[in-house]
Amino acid sequence: MKIAVVFYSFSGNTKRLASFLKKKFGEKKREVDLIELKPVREETVFLKQCMQAFLKRNPELLDVEYDLKNYDMVIFSSPVWAFTFAPCLHSYFKKVKNLEGKQTVLILTYGSGAGTDKALKEMEEVLLGFKTKIIFEAKIPGHKTKNEEYLGEKLKPLIEMV
**Domain limits of the chain?**
2-161
How confident is the model at residue 20, as a pLDDT? Answer: 98
pLDDT digits (tens, 9 = 90+) for 17-62: 999 999 999 999 999 999 999 988 777 766 667 667 666 777 788 8
How confident is the model at residue 27, as a pLDDT? Answer: 96
Q: What average pLDDT does the chain have? A: 92
How confident is the model at residue 60, as a pLDDT? Answer: 86
Average pLDDT of the residues in 69-85 = 94
Tell me which of 136 and 112 has the higher pLDDT: 136
Q: What is the 3-state secondary structure (H, E, C) of the chain?
A: CEEEEEECCCCCHHHHHHHHHHHHHHHCCCEEEEEECCECCCCCCHHHHHHHHHCCCCCCECCCCCECCCCCEEEEEEEEECCEECHHHHHHHHHCECCCCCEEEEEEEECCCCCHHHHHHHHHHHHHHCCCEEEEEEEEEHHHHHCHHHHHHHCHHHHHHC
How confident is the model at residue 7, as a pLDDT? Answer: 98
The model's pTM is 0.92
CATH superfamily of 2-161: Flavodoxin domain (3.40.50.360)
How confident is the model at residue 110, as a pLDDT? Answer: 95
Whether the pLDDT of residue 123 is over 70: the answer is yes
With a pLDDT cut of 90, the percent of the chain lying above it is: 77
